[in-house]
Structure 1
């Protein structure tokens, strides 16, 4: 069996997945220094907030990726916002959101994450999502998903495999805490979703991956770097992310130019327990 490029990567004896885990931990540690102290806040051209923590985390991640994956294009949120995008992606590239859930970070709740995902042929094949304020890391590699506990100083202490739940007496949905839309609310009502958990950032994907929820409908704007890492974890745990018509959500195949090329379509992320309410192709 032919191995994917991600399975063959080595750097100083470490697998790429281990490097991405360590990178996310280091970025999370830097973010928490700002969370517990002073942090400058600025407005992007679209008026969304960006902080010193976003920039510090992104610098750490970009430096690590340059060492681990030389020559592989990287699309990172703050670099993209500054107009710095790879000239050509190719079949293999990395998506980075250094601080997903900046509004949650500023509100001082714990629903913010570091997201790093490796994309191959449009599919997220490797991903890490680290919630540093929760000391929880989620990772996907080689078709397996894990939940990793960390210490207060962001060292790995325990890890366990996770998977989606196959059935449920009552489906549980997850929805955005800061970006709820009327379209999403209408979808939830139309499908009689009585149980809905509001949570920020890519943790929504992770709740499905660990079997705590079943479906995440998103009928509102998102970018590929917002979702790719969480999507990788969900797929490795046995779930899937599709467009509303049931077709698979792919990455790096947008039709726009510049940053607009990385806008997601609306999507539904789900586990097997909710498969019956997702529209097939």
Structure 2
């Protein structure tokens, strides 16, 4: 049964959903079907950014995606922005979210490989409403990484020093503080204590940021986590996941190999969000432990990339 929405979840205050897609029509169809099954779908504006082709090999699948986009129904409104050139995922997300937040106070962001619970939109709008004035919370997500939450932790949500790129949301004033050029990079390179604070959300963060700045990868997500860090802010996570990534089958931009490491069971149901939620040191220790880099990757980063 759908949860009863509070006054803050009235249709005129619901955040729009921005969805980014490229060349995976089958994944996209699953994403749309699960999103359309949400209790609040018919009251939610859907804005879709369809990236342009990177090469001739992608043309057929990109066209299949756009043919499918023309058939979507079930939302309050649907707008499709079809790029004539390939922007890449990073460029698409930064531009698309920025453009959307020029007209809205908050936004919910999905990519074309996310399955959601029927109460996903309710959960996201609830979080955006409850924590709108908490300047130390930069983003919220519906994804619960399989972290070993300590026994006795009393809440349905927790705070962590990392932003999630899977089924997430933010506010215009927070997004405006993002530093996409990573101005503090040199300090992170030379100040060990500063870097130690940065990797409290996982020791994989520094190699990712360094690779981003070296041009080895192109990631908006690591720069968004970095922006959260330099603004002394945190990300909100649920204890039980309301989203599952189906792009870890080797088809995605960031997952060119198949993995089940990030799998999470979907869990529909009410979530209580305390307004005065504070970070829990035991939870953060387990969170960082989950994102610990294996020794062989540390050695590879040092030998291959000098990190």
TM score, norm. by length of structure 1: 0.30
Under a length normalisation based on structure 2, what TM-score does the superposition of the two structures give?
0.28
More strand per residue: 1
- Mark the structure with the bigger radius of gyration: 2
Return the structure number with greater relative CO, CA threshold 8 A, min gap 6.
2
